[in-house]
Amino acid sequence: MNLIEKQILFQARHLLANAHKHEPHITADLQKIASELSAEMVGLENKFKTLDSLIKKISKFFGQTFEYLLLQGFTTENAFEESFSQAVGKSNDVLRYTYVFPTDSYIFGYKKSLAKLKEFGYEVLEDNIWNAWKNIGTIFDKGYRGINITVISSRKQKFELQFHTEESFQLKTKTHNFYKERSLTEASEERKAEIARTMLELAQAVSVPQGVKKL
């Protein structure tokens, strides 16, 4: 194991340790909010990102950033430090949760959730809100339906909260293995293109909440 691999492993373990430390009170708060808003909270058994997945994510962002910074004239040492800092900062889903709302109350549930999070002392990072519904019909549509936000707890623990309808959550579950296969470096370009077409086709059947693209 080289120096970079050791550092990535160290950072991944550190991120997971912090997530495990802060998870109980975050989970309790989110369950209270879900109860108040009649949201279904699903996937708690998968609330922690696996060590292997986290290592792959940090490695990917580190490699991309390190290369870019070297091209920008950074010294190797400075590029190394800055790349790790950015890679760790992008690891917002070490701890992740999912709310499911009925399609006809999805927008109301989403807006009320944000308000409730703030009431409970959480910070919603406005620049890190990904409304994938807006991508429908554009070149950026990858077949994902939902809204993902990044939240920071009062104890500075970052986590991801996803908002789904029943249909969009079923789509996510159905296409999970496709998503993993597409991210593999050994997957051929032909296979990746085939997967992309399949995911888009499956996404066409998902009902779109009225007005969601305007959020």
Does any domain span residue 65? no
Cα gap 124→12, rounded to integer Å: 23
pLDDT of 34 > 80? The answer is yes
| Structure token digits, residue 42 | 């699903």
Q: Tokens 């010294």 — which residue?
A: 75
In this prediction, residues 99-111 reach a mean pLDDT of 97
pTM comes to 0.91
Q: How many domains does the chain have?
A: 1
Residue 90 has pLDDT above 80, yes or no: yes
Burial class (CB in 10 A: 0-12, 13-18, 19+), 180: exposed
With respect to residue 73, please indicate whether it lies within any of the assigned structural domains. no
Encoded tokens for 110: 């989403």
Look at residue 192 and tell me if it is in a domain: yes
Please give the pLDDT value at position 82: 87
Q: Has residue 84 got a pLDDT over 90?
A: no
Identify whether 82 is part of a domain: no
Domain presence at residue 117: yes
Q: Is residue 17 part of a domain?
A: no
Q: Which of helix, strand or coil describes residue 121?
A: coil
Mean pLDDT of 112-134: 96
Q: How far apart are CA 133 and CA 48, in angstroms?
A: 25
Please indicate, yes or no, if residue 195 is contained in any of the structural domains.
Answer: yes
Evaluate if residue 185 carries a pLDDT over 70: no
Residues spanned by the domain of 113: 25-49+93-214
CB atoms within 10 A of CB 157: 18
Residue 40: phi, psi to the nearest 5? -95, 125
Which two structure tokens, joined as six digits, stand for 21? 């430390």
Q: Which candidate, 40, 76, 62, places its Cα nearest to that of 166?
A: 40
pLDDT of residue 67: 86
How far are the Cα atoms of 11, 69, 142, 207 from residue 111, in angstroms, in the given order? Answer: 34, 38, 25, 19
Per-residue pLDDT tens over the stretch 194-206: 998 999 999 999 9
Q: What is the Cα–Cα distance from 1 to 113, expressed in whole angstroms?
A: 44
CATH number at residue 128: 3.30.460
In a domain, 38, yes or no: yes
